Structure 1
Amino acid sequence: MTTAARAAALLLALTGGLVATPAQADGASYVPLAHPQAVHQQGTREVVEFFWYGCRHSQLLEQPLEDWMARQPKDVVLRRIPAVWPGTSDQTSERGHARLFYALDKLGEVDRLQRAVFEAVRDQGLDLTTESGADQWVEGQGVDGAKFRAAYESPQVQQEVDRAPQEMTRYEVNELPTAVVQGSWKATPTTAGGAERIPGVLDQLMAKAQGLPSK
């Protein structure tokens, strides 16, 4: 990725990528993927959310998305993937935040702490991109420090962080947040008319995935 391309990608992340798209121009609230992806677990209805802790629009989606998931049947699963734009280096905040997320995920703490991480980063301005900063914060949230450090430094977490840019390419992500349903359609703040409206689009896409008329 060139310097100019990387700067453009970062701008999309910071602003929520509020740019015109063909789907938006046609009045659609979602965009079909050019290359649909298989769901992670067969027999489930899957939503894949791409987010970044430093993104205001990602934070705006979090509570509505949690509320939406609470209303869904058990076969609907949410898979979160932290944004690491292809071509970024190991020192970027994206990779630091991704490592924090995957360490919390390994410990089963994401559901409890996801909104709290957004608040720490976005509202309190805390730097959670380093191991020391993240460790100090998670211990304050009641997480065992030794277990967190072991997860943070584990090969499994490193592999997940390294895989994140590939996932963004596979799911054709160019805006944050992005929610992909059944590996086939994506909704963004641009297509939905705002991050908070994405869950309403997810209802439409879930119906579409089942062959039902959307409301």
Structure 2
Amino acid sequence: PYAHANLIDRYLVAAEASDIEPILLLNKTDILDDEAQAHLEPMLARYQKLGYRIIRASTKSLSGLEELHATLDQKVSVFVGQSGVGKSSLVNVLLPGVDIKTLPLSEQTNKGVHTTTTAKLFHLPNGGQLIDSPGIREFGLWHMDTATLLEGFVEFRPYLGYCKFSDCSHEHEPACALLKALEDGHIDPARMHSFQNIKASLDDFTTHN
């Protein structure tokens, strides 16, 4: 399935709010074509610049799996992502004998077919636990307030509290510290757009509930 930055940003915000170290795992690197590479590389570079760690892996070529093993050892970790990104395939390679059912992508939509319907906990041989979660296509943050959302965008943190107005929406107000940082190139436009998209969804949820 296509990688969506807004969905990734939602995962990252949730992880930051829960004090969980997020790691971006790019799976199925063996099947990436030039078009996919052109889409992914600028996105990954953006997250690397923010300090997020990225692991590239393939269950076919086995590249990156040694690094992934070392990362998971002695920790409690969870795989989250869209259906079809290969979470269960990774578990099958990391834990031979588990044999989680997997299915190919839907030919009609190029999206994953749900095979994992409940979260499953596995114990790793060298210590630690791994949770394989069901594939998801939407990830809501409706429980989150705006202050927590802002903190979840790590590059925003140096500018929080410096807007002229305490109730600044960071959309059009004069002397907005975030908009000034955006103008000066300290905040990536794609990340600002993602923040505004998530904030709008929270505002809409609050209005209708």
Please, what TM-score do these two structures have when normalized by structure 1?
0.27
Query: In proportion to residue count, which structure has more helix?
Result: 1
Larger RCO: Structure 1 or Structure 2 (Cα < 8 Å, ≥ 6 residues apart)?
A: 1
Q: Which structure would you say has the larger Rg? A: 2
